[in-house]
Amino acid sequence: MIWFKDYTLDDIKALITHPNITQILDIDFIERGDDLIRARMPVNQNAHQIHGILHGGVTCVLAESAGSFASLMCIDLDQKYVVGSQICVNHLRPVRDGHIIATAKAVHIGRTKHVWDIPVHADNGKLIAKCELTCAVTDKT
pLDDT at 80: 96
Cβ(116)–Cβ(85) under 8 Å? no
In 3D space, the residue among 68, 88, 60, 87 whose CA is nearest the CA of residue 137 turns out to be: 68
Query: What is the C-alpha separation between 89 and 100, in angstroms, rounded?
Result: 15
Q: What is the CATH number of domain 9-139?
A: 3.10.129.10
Residue 90 burial class via C-beta count within 10 angstroms: exposed 0-12, middle 13-18, buried 19 and up: exposed
pLDDT at 16: 86
Cβ(82)–Cβ(71) under 8 Å? yes
Map out the domains of the chain as residue ranges.
9-139
Tens-digit pLDDT string for the chain (141 aa): 899 999 999 999 888 888 889 999 999 999 999 999 999 999 999 999 999 999 999 999 999 999 999 999 999 999 999 999 999 999 999 999 999 999 999 999 999 999 999 999 999 999 999 999 999 999 998
pLDDT at 15: 87
Residues annotated as catalytic are 64
Task: Determine the residue type at 15.
Answer: L
* b/e code 14-31 from CB counts within 10 Å (16+ = b): eeeeeeeebeebebbbee
pTM (2 d.p.): 0.94
pLDDT at 117: 98
pLDDT at 18: 83
